[in-house]
Amino acid sequence: MRFGWRRAAYLAVALGVLAGAAMPLSHAPAPGLFARPGVLAATLATAALYGAAAAVAGWLSVAATFAGVLLGCAATLVLLHDPTIAGTAASGFWLLVVANWGAAWLGVAGLAAIRTHERAISSAIDLAIPLLFGAFVFYLWEVAVRGFGVPTVLVPAPSLIAVRFFGSLWMLWQDFFQTFVLGVLIGYAIGCSAGFLVAVVAHRYTFLGRGLLPIGNFVSALPIVGIAPIMVMWFGFDWPSKAAVVVVITFFPMLVNTLAGLDAAGHIERDLMRSYGAGHRQTLQKLHLPAAMPFIFNALKINSTLAFIGAIVAEFFGTPTLGIGFRISIEAGRMALDMVWAEIALAAIVGMAFYGLVALAERATTFWHPSFRT
């Protein structure tokens, strides 16, 4: 049996867990690990599992590692419920956390190294790795905030944010409706379709296209969010001003990308259409628009993030007392950071879902494109 670095690292984390168990848990007088039979058993089992992971290889090793990480993390979280440890955690506690961290890293590395020809399994692994990584980041955040006793006004623990999130679902729903459904979606629909229509017209008249493409490229590079205060003056505090900002922000990327996409069809295909005697409308419908789809979706994806940013920034310049951006700035001023983070979580979830939906629509409509046929 070869004694590689992998085994050495596993043995090191197992020893780290044992050493952590023996060292003091807290700077404050607190009962040691030997006074807590449940946690002690879990910790010893963690060390045993890491040791077992060193002895075996492949799937078994990964499974043993993650079972150990789960137990080890649970043990540290239980320890944090003790007020004599939370905020004053000492070397023993942190050694446990760091050992779990190392083990989780080894587990993820082991998972990434697994090669399989089964497609479903490899895509499940590709999904599991970032999820495990993300879950562990949240664990580290929770442990660091509570172990060091970081004040809530600086950074609240994830558990606190989750409690606040589910405790104010109604308020979050109202903010979501105001900012996303009214501001972002309406503006996004108008801006994207306007950009698309102008591009189609500009494609019909070459002169217009040649003039608009450089201008559109130029304007796309400008800090357009700056028009937010003007739109708030023109359209008032309520959602129309937010939608107007989103319209202007999303218009130019859509225009530029659609114009580029409509030009993407090759000469051979165009000649073929001409030899079929196809008119402009037919060529547009059967050749240029399908060829432009990847570009259009590119713009839709860029715009999905830009639109959200635009709507939130516009809320900094004035809102009715509603909306994600408004709530964030108000609650940050009141130092209610758990509410702020709940809103950020909402914005993150909505932003990812929005992007994900556009990406799904792209896969459904442009499945023929080379980038999806790997």
| Residues making contact with other proteins (CB under 8 A) | 105, 108-109, 112-113, 126, 129-130, 132-134, 153-155, 207-208, 210-212, 214-215, 218, 221-223, 225-230, 232-234, 294-295, 298, 301-302, 304-305, 308-309, 312-313, 316-318, 324-325, 328-329, 332, 335, 337, 340-341, 343-344, 347-348, 351-352, 354-356
Residue whose CB is less far from other proteins, 53 or 232 = 232
Comparing CA positions, the residue from 191, 207, 307, 311 lying closest to residue 255 is 191
Least distance to other proteins from the beta carbon of 327, Å?
10
Asked if residues 363 and 372 have their Cβ atoms less than 8 Å apart, the reply is yes
Cβ-based nearer residue to other proteins, 85 or 302 = 302
Shortest separation between residue 149's beta carbon and other proteins, angstroms: 15
Closest CA to 203 of 144, 319, 285: 285
Residue closer to other proteins, measured from CB, 99 or 249: 249
Residue closer to other proteins by CB (options 20, 310) is: 310
- Count of CB atoms within 10 A of residue 206's CB? 9
Q: How crowded is residue 162: how many other Cβ atoms within 10 Å of its Cβ?
A: 15
The closest of 288, 298, 290, 300 to 209, measured between CA atoms, is: 288
Closer Cβ to other proteins, 32 or 351, answer by number: 351
Long-range pairs for 208-214: beta carbons < 8 A, 24 or more residues apart: 209/259, 212/255, 212/259, 213/256, 213/259, 213/260
Beta carbon of residue 38, minimum distance to other proteins (angstroms, whole number): 31
Using an 8 Å Cβ cutoff, are 92 and 34 in contact?
Answer: no
Q: What minimum distance in Å lies between the beta carbon of 12 and other proteins?
A: 17
Residue 332 CB, shortest distance to other proteins, in Å, is 4
Q: Considering the complex, state which of residue 58 and residue 211 has its C-beta at the smaller distance from other proteins.
A: 211
SS3 for 222? coil
Count of CB atoms situated within 10 Å of the CB of 109: 14
Nearer to other proteins among residue 80 and residue 106 (C-beta): 106
Return d(Cα 216, Cα 214) in angstroms, integer. Answer: 5
Least distance from other proteins to the Cβ atom of residue 94, Å: 21
The distance of closest approach from Cβ of residue 212 to other proteins in the complex, given in angstroms and rounded to an integer, is 6
Task: State the Cα torsion 43-49-51-53 to the nearest 10°.
Answer: -150
* Cβ-based nearer residue to other proteins, 92 or 310: 310
Give φ, ψ of 23 to 5 degrees: -90, 165
Query: At closest approach, how far in Å is the CB of 203 from other proteins?
Result: 14
Residue 267 to residue 346: CA distance in whole angstroms? 47
